A and B are shown apart, each in its own frame.
Chain A
Amino acid sequence: MKPAPFAWHAPEDLAAALALKAQHGGEAQFLAGGQSLVPAMNFRVAQPAVLVDLNRVAALDSLAFDAEGTLRVGAMCRYRRIERDAEVARRLPLLVEALAEVAHPQIRNRGTLAGNLCHADPASEMPAVMLALEARFRLCRHDGERVLPARDFFLGPLATALAEEEMLAEIQIPALPPGTGTGFLEVARRRGDYAMMGVAAVLRRGPEGRCVAARLALCSAGPTPMLAERAAASLVGTRLTAEDFAAAAALAVAEIDPMGSVQASPAYQRHLAGVLVPRALALAAERAA
């Protein structure tokens, strides 16, 4: 239960951090909040030869809305800062609602959103929330950068589209249009545990009250966070009634691919999705003014 030896670098700016990653490649890992990587190192499941610690890169600890209303979250922004930000709670309530389900305050005091996303645990809440909110990820390397939609980032359990030299430097979450309501619900064995099933719903009503846009993303529902696209599409044009939600839930249950765990069989996870999807949709619809 002690980490294997490693060389530790604690650069103070992004360029130095990216240069170190380029230099050491796959031997090196970035260390952000450490709430997933350090347990893995304690178990020696992860044995990076080099750690590029980002905790002293002050510029990465950023959280701000830009002129278009997009929330920009830097790689070192800790969960606690996001969940306590009144403006984030007002403009992106889904993020704050789901954050309350992420582990415990002691973990959220250190853990970062970017680190969680790079860990890419399909049972984790935030990857699904990023899909529901259509987030974009800015991936930086020493000699350039690219922006990737969240849905192209998650490739499988603990696997992402990050290249060896890249860092997820910034998460960009676009503003929700007027008339949008969101809801997040999950079932876990205990508060703070990984979800056996979690559902993030985003609904937008048009002027006549009909649904004009819908997004539905689920965690613990497959090898990656899962978008239920057919279920979401079925809601567009409806009046968002209980029958519409039941029909969408039936589609969502067929779209997901839960893998099961010691706590829940795939059949039980599908059952949970069938229960949670209509509830999350009802919550979002009620909030979509």
Chain B
Amino acid sequence: MKFTIRVNGVEHTREVEPRLLLSDFLRHEIGLTGTHVGCEHGVCGACTILWDGAPVRSCLAFAVQAEGHEIRTVEGLAPGPGQLNPLQQAFRDAHGLQCGYCTPGILMTMTAFLEENPKPDEAQVREALSGNLCRCTGYQHIVDAVLLASQA
């Protein structure tokens, strides 16, 4: 079926099957491969995107359901090509990633978290991070990065 979706402020119209997951649509139909796919059942958080500003799992929604909603992916964070936004810069400065697979999902989770909690403490950051798995066990540096971003 034909539908139109708005991602990072840009409209895309495609003909897709209703069963196409939003995560697969983002990656395979419009080439936004920054959204990573880990577990495909809502546990790992790698595919987290912002849906009308709120972080959600893109593997647990069908692309056609997103019509009429504002979708934001990791590609929508940086102010311009070759640039990083303050949260991304903090991840770089605090070594908040190793392999980077979980990073896009964590950036989207933390983007929404910091909008609501601009000055979080460490415990709040850890709780907000609980829905995103990092298998490099890099949580300490991820927490450091989010706290660093909140001090900017």
Residues of A in contact with B (beta carbons under 8 Å apart) = 1-8, 10, 34-35, 38-39, 41-43, 51, 53, 55, 80, 103-107, 109-110, 190-192
Contact = CB atoms under 8 A, between A and B. Distances in A.
A106 B57 contact: yes
Contacts of A192: 130-131
Interface stretch (B61-69, B70-78, B140-148): B61-69
Given A38-B60, A43-B41, A109-B54, A6 B131 contact: no
A110 B60 contact: yes
24 contacts: A5-B17, A10-B64, A10-B65, A34-B61, A35-B57, A35-B60, A38-B42, A39-B41, A42-B21, A42-B40, A104-B45, A105-B109, A105-B131, A106-B45, A106-B56, A106-B131, A109-B54, A109-B55, A109-B56, A110-B56, A110-B57, A110-B60, A110-B61, A191-B127
Nearest to B59: A42
A82 to B, nearest CB: 14
A41 B62 CA distance: 11
B98 to A, nearest CB: 21
B60 A104 contact: no
B48 interface: yes
Interface of B: 1, 17-19, 21, 24, 40-42, 45, 48, 51, 54-57, 59-62, 64-65, 109, 113, 127-128, 130-131
B56 to A, nearest CB: 5
A191 B125 CA distance: 13
Contacts, number: 78
Given A80-B54, A106-B48, A191 B130 contact: yes
A2 B18 CA distance: 12
Contacts of B65: 10, 53, 55
A7 B18 contact: yes
B135 to A, nearest CB: 14
Contacts of B41: 1, 39, 42-43
A38 B17 CA distance: 15
A42 B61 CA distance: 11
A107 B21 contact: no
A41 to B, nearest CB: 8
A218 B64 CA distance: 38
Contacts of B55: 105-106, 109
Nearest to A4: B19
Nearest to A34: B60
Contacts of A80: 54
B2 to A, nearest CB: 13
Q: Which residue among B41, B60, B109 has the maximum number of chain A CB atoms within 10 Å of its CB?
A: B60
A198 B15 CA distance: 46
A167 B103 CA distance: 39
A10 B61 CA distance: 14
Contacts of B51: 109-110
A39 B56 contact: no
Contacts of B42: 35, 38-39, 107
A126 B4 CA distance: 36
Contacts of A51: 18
A135 to B, nearest CB: 26
A19 B83 CA distance: 52
